[in-house]
């Protein structure tokens, strides 16, 4: 019996040796290593390219006009500022559905400060502070009260939005002085026809990607989402990491809300509401799985780009607006199928 085991082991060894001889480690092939490290993001990029190609073939002429891209580049940044922090939340194993109300709440504070005659820069700081406080509130509620983040943040979304509605009674705030301000020039004007907010959004995405991959915060977010028990045993303050993730969403939502108000010169009590589903879809189209531990910031950004282009693309391709939802759904389902095939889940 031991002979059988012995020969079996040797057989296993010789094949293993052969495999080892033929094997070249990914680090010896930089391109291969890059592809392996960025599978999910590259998959999302593939989805985007295929989708755009389909639209362009349908109506090549429209896609040569700059206006089409300009309109997407105006609204995309707002989504990017919330999609990116949500990648962190989903990676940590939680979800946050309260960001639309946080967007509305923080931009309301921004509008109040500007309307009272103060500098828009002060308004931005006030909005950021509001976002941090609300994020902290939502985070502590979920983490320390031990509530399900799915339900608790849904509740917080209704609660905060309700507060906004009760106090404003549906009235919007026009910010007429905003267009002459420095803040507007820096954050919301156009440079050579390109909306300037896209540069801020790209900078934010790059910063967040570094935070995710090259910073202790990102490292701990992934570990907490992967194996909280182990993280606890190794001395990571799991609860505090989770709270920080919700604070990050608060910050992103505050920036997003403020940008959206600056683009429109007007604050509406519904500000941010329309972003809930497209932003969530972007995170998952981007290749961040639902089970926590892994995620991709760049993928999420490309996911947001994809989702932003669906509506414009469908109409530009010559289809009626009634097709938009259908294509939204199609892209989401196809992306999920693609990611499932593309990404292995390790247990």
Report, in Å, the least distance between residue 229 CB and other proteins. 5
Say if residues 223 and 236 touch (Cβ distance below 8 Å).
Answer: yes
Say if residues 139 and 290 touch (Cβ distance below 8 Å).
Answer: no
Report 261-280 residues binding other proteins (CB under 8 A): none
Query: Could you give the CA distance from residue 283 to residue 301 in angstroms, rounded to a whole number?
Result: 8
Q: Specify the residue, 51 or 298, whose C-beta has the smaller distance to other proteins.
A: 298
Query: Could you give the CA distance from residue 89 to residue 92 in angstroms, rounded to a whole number?
Result: 5
> According to the binding rule CB under 8 A, does residue 217 interact with other proteins?
yes
Helix (H) or strand (E) run with residue 329 in it: helix 324-342
Site string for other proteins, 222-261 (x = CB under 8 A): xx--xx-xxx-xxxx-------------------------
Report, in Å, the least distance between residue 294 CB and other proteins. 5
φ, ψ at 98 (rounded to 5°) = -95, -5
Q: Specify the residue, 105 or 248, whose C-beta has the smaller distance to other proteins.
A: 248
Tokens representing 135 are: 């994020």
Tokens representing 162 are: 């309700």
Q: Specify the residue, 171 or 345, whose C-beta has the smaller distance to other proteins.
A: 345
Site string for other proteins, 19-58 (x = CB under 8 A): -x--x-x-x-------------------------------
Tokens representing 237 are: 């303050």
> According to the binding rule CB under 8 A, does residue 296 interact with other proteins?
no
Radius of gyration (Cα) for the chain, nearest Å?
Answer: 23
Contacting other proteins (CB under 8 A), which of 75, 92, 149, 220? 220
**Burial of 67 from C-beta contacts in 10 A (0-12 / 13-18 / 19+):** exposed
Query: Could you give the CA distance from residue 189 to residue 195 in angstroms, rounded to a whole number?
Result: 6
Residue carrying the six token digits 């891209």: 69
Query: Could you give the CA distance from residue 52 to residue 45 in angstroms, rounded to a whole number?
Result: 11
Q: Specify the residue, 118 or 291, whose C-beta has the smaller distance to other proteins.
A: 291
Contacting other proteins (CB under 8 A), which of 1, 4, 5, 145? 5
Say if residues 288 and 300 touch (Cβ distance below 8 Å).
Answer: yes
Say if residues 99 and 249 touch (Cβ distance below 8 Å).
Answer: yes
Query: Could you give the CA distance from residue 117 to residue 60 in angstroms, rounded to a whole number?
Result: 48
Report, in Å, the least distance between residue 228 CB and other proteins. 9
Q: Specify the residue, 36 or 176, whose C-beta has the smaller distance to other proteins.
A: 36
- Which span sits near other proteins by CB under 8 A: 141-149, 164-172, 199-207, 215-223? 215-223
> According to the binding rule CB under 8 A, does residue 140 interact with other proteins?
no
Helix (H) or strand (E) run with residue 266 in it: strand 266-267
Contacting other proteins (CB under 8 A), which of 85, 104, 131, 293? 293
Contacting other proteins (CB under 8 A), which of 203, 214, 290, 340? 214
> According to the binding rule CB under 8 A, does residue 93 interact with other proteins?
no
- Which span sits near other proteins by CB under 8 A: 4-12, 64-72, 262-270, 298-306? 4-12
Say if residues 125 and 275 touch (Cβ distance below 8 Å).
Answer: no
CA-to-CA separations, 269 to 100, 109, 173, 314, in angstroms, rounded = 11, 11, 9, 29
Report, in Å, the least distance between residue 334 CB and other proteins. 24
> According to the binding rule CB under 8 A, does residue 300 interact with other proteins?
no
Interface size with other proteins, residues (CB under 8 A):
31
Query: Which residues bind to other proteins, rule: CB under 8 A?
Result: 5, 9, 12, 20, 23, 25, 27, 210, 214-217, 219-220, 222-223, 226-227, 229-231, 233-236, 293-294, 344-347
């Amino acid at each position: 019996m031991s002979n059988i085991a012995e020969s079996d082991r040797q057989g296993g060894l010789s094949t293993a040796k052969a495999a080892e001889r033929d094997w070249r480690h990914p680090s010896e092939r930089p391109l291969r290593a890059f592809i392996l490290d960025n599978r999910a993001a590259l998959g999302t990029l593939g989805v985007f390219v295929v989708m755009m190609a389909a639209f362009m073939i349908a109506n090549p002429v429209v896609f040569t006009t700059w206006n089409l891209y300009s309109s997407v580049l105006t609204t995309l940044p707002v989504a990017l500022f919330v999609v990116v922090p949500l990648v962190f939340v989903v990676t940590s194993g939680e979800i946050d559905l309260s960001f639309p109300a946080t967007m509305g709440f923080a931009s309301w504070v921004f509008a109040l400060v500007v309307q009272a005659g103060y500098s828009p820069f002060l308004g931005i700081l006030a909005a950021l502070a509001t976002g941090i406080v609300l994020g902290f509130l939502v985070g502590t509620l979920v983490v320390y009260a031990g509530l399900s983040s799915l339900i608790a943040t849904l509740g917080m979304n209704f609660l905060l939005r309700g507060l906004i509605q009760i106090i404003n009674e549906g009235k919007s705030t026009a910010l007429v002085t905003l267009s002459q301000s420095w803040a507007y020039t820096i954050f919301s004007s156009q440079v050579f026809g390109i909306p300037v907010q896209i540069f801020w959004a790209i900078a934010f995405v790059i910063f967040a990607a570094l935070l995710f991959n090259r910073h202790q915060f990102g490292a701990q977010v992934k570990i907490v989402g992967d194996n909280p028990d182990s993280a606890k045993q190794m001395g990571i303050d799991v609860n505090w990491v989770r709270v920080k993730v919700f604070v990050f969403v608060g910050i992103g939502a505050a920036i997003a809300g403020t940008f959206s108000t600056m683009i429109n010169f007007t604050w509406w009590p519904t500000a941010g509401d329309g972003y809930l589903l497209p932003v969530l879809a972007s995170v998952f189209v981007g290749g961040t799985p639902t089970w926590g531990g892994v995620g991709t910031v760049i993928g999420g950004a490309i996911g947001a780009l994809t989702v932003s282009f669906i509506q414009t693309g469908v109409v530009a391709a010559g289809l009626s607006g009634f097709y938009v939802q259908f294509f939204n759904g199609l892209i989401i389902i196809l992306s999920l199928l693609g990611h499932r095939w593309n990404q292995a889940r390790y247990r």
